[in-house]
Amino acid sequence: MKSCGTGWFCFLLSTFLFVHAAGGRAAAQDGGWHGPRFPAKIAASREIKMGGATLQVDFADGHFDLPLDVLMQHVQAAAAAVTAYYGRFPVNRARVLIVPIPGRGGEPQGTTWGDMGGFQGFTRIRMGEHTTTADLADDWVMTHELVHYAFPSLPDDQHWMEEGLATYIEAIARHETGELTAQRVWGDMMRDMPKGEPAPGDEGLDRTHTWGRTYWGGALFCLSADVAIRRQTGNRKGLRDALRAIVAQGGTIDQEWPLERALEIGDRATGTHVLTQQYAAWKDAPVQVDLPALWKELGIRPAEGGVDFVADAPLAAVREAIAGEAKAPAHPVAAH
Ligand SMILES: [Zn+2]
């Protein structure tokens, strides 16, 4: 079960609570929500057919300022982003339940489960009744939740991999459908990746269950692996190839796997040992990444209002392969 909050504060709070409620994750995952977990009354039910999958989208009874069509377009955009990244929608049957929260606005909050109620993936989105199109344009939660479908459920000590993957992939996937520019993707990474670096006393990702290490430490693991795979394969393979192979071999959220099994499949798909070796190094030791050096190699530098790119940087082609300016699509899929 993965719970991802409204804005970074609630996000932090809910994660902090679950980290400190040993064995009591269920009690704290809801970040301050005290209503019923699964409202009984469904006011509307629709379907999205996407990438070979059926996504059932249910709306719990209540009021939204926005028309349901606009909310549907938002789910559709997230599903399209995930489908673009993985080459297919990762599970065949999933359900998204959108619950209106009276008196609230802003970005939604999401929680995702595997293998629930006959669905391989189930996501509950709590959406303020006053949420606007501008809030949805800024929303990363919907895509993040759907990315969770595309990896097996892991033991608690590897929760960082589930969250890190969703954190890393979400923006790249939204870039692929034209929702986010490459400048936005890399600018956000440059701003946020330092949150994932080990602090003093860190004992590695499997043993340091802080918010920063879980979400951004996991994302940093993914970025480092992506770059390493691309270095070793002459940019012919990347993390995407590893992740697609894991999904193709049945590694989705409704399955419980040890992390090693997924990483071995991923490594075979890229013909490297990057994931297995990097996990061995990072799991119980505080590995530092020289981020300024990495940005420089990738050719990403701060600029007025964000970042700009250095065309002849040593790893410019790797940057372009992960999220490139050149492949900005012709038509945005986003609802806004
Ligand atoms: Zn998550």
Distance from Cα 176 to the centre of ligand 1, integer Å: 20
Nearest to 43 by CA among 60, 68, 26: 60
Q: Which residues pair with 48 in a beta bridge?
A: 55
Strand-pair partners of 54: 49, 93
CA distance 125 to 64: 13
**How many Å lie between the centroid of ligand 1 and the Cα of residue 141?**
8
Q: Tell me how far the alpha carbon of residue 146 lies from the centroid of ligand 1, in angstroms.
A: 9
| Model pLDDT for residues 277-290, shown as the tens digit of each residue | 999 999 999 999 99
36/216 Cα distance (integer angstroms): 31
Q: Is the pLDDT of residue 334 over 60?
A: no
Q: Ligand 1 centroid to 134 CA: how many Å?
A: 22
Average pLDDT, the chain: 89
| pLDDT tens, residue by residue, 149-193 | 999 999 999 999 999 999 999 999 999 999 999 999 999 999 999
Tell me: pLDDT of 204 over 50: yes
**Helix H or strand E segment including 255:** none
Of 279, 295, 65, 244, residue with least CA distance to 158: 279
Per-residue model confidence as pLDDT tens digits over 313-329: 999 999 999 999 865 55
CA of 143 relative to ligand 1 center, distance in Å? 10
- Residue 142 Cα to ligand 1 middle (Å): 10
Cα three-residue angle 204-169-306, rounded to 5 degrees: 95
pLDDT of the residue at 52: 79
Q: How far is the CA of 162 from the centre of ligand 1 (A)?
A: 7
Q: Are 245 and 266 in contact (CB under 8 A)?
A: yes
Distance 234 CA to ligand 1 centre (A): 31
3-state SS class at 307: strand
Give residue 161 CA to ligand 1 midpoint distance, Å: 10
Ligand 1 midpoint to CA 148 (Å): 7
Q: How far apart are CA 206 and CA 250, in angstroms?
A: 24
**3-class secondary structure, 83:** helix
Task: Give pLDDT, residue 24.
Answer: 28
Per-residue model confidence as pLDDT tens digits over 92-128? 999 999 999 999 999 899 999 999 999 999 999 999 9
Question: Tell me, what amino acid is at 255?
Answer: Q
DSSP sequence for 176-235: HTTSS-HHHHHHHHHHHGGGGSPPTT---TTT---HIIIIIIHHHHHHHHHHHHHHHTTT
Q: What is the mean pLDDT of residues 249-254?
A: 98
Q: Is residue 78 within 8 Å of 143, Cβ to Cβ?
A: yes
CA angle 169, 132, 307 (to 5 degrees): 45
Instruction: Report the pLDDT value the prediction gives residue 1, as an integer from 0 to 100.
Output: 67
Res 5: pLDDT: 53
Q: What would the mean pLDDT of 52-79 be, rounded to a whole number?
A: 96
One-letter amino acid of 268: R
pLDDT of amino acid 76: 97
Whether 252 shows a pLDDT value over 80: the answer reads yes
Closest C-alpha among 280, 175, 152, 172 to residue 221 = 280
The pLDDT value recorded for residue 13 is 32
What is the DSSP annotation of 108-128?
-EEEEEEEETTEEEEEEEEEE
Gap from CA of 80 to ligand 1 centroid (Å) = 18
Task: Give the SS3 label for residue 54.
Answer: strand
d(CA 33, CA 128): 12
Residue 241 has pLDDT above 90, yes or no: yes
In DSSP terms, which residues pair with 56 in a beta bridge?
Answer: 47, 95
pLDDT, tens digit (0-9, with 9 covering 90-100), for 7-44: 443 333 333 333 322 222 333 333 444 455 667 699 99
- pLDDT, residue 327, reads 54
Rounded to an integer, the average pLDDT of 305-315 is 95
Ligand 1 centroid–CA 117 distance in Å is 20
The CA 166 to ligand 1 mean position distance, Å, reads: 6
Report the pLDDT averaged over residues 270-276.
98
Higher pLDDT pick, 142 / 328:
142
Residue 142 pLDDT level (bands cut at 50, 70, 90): very high
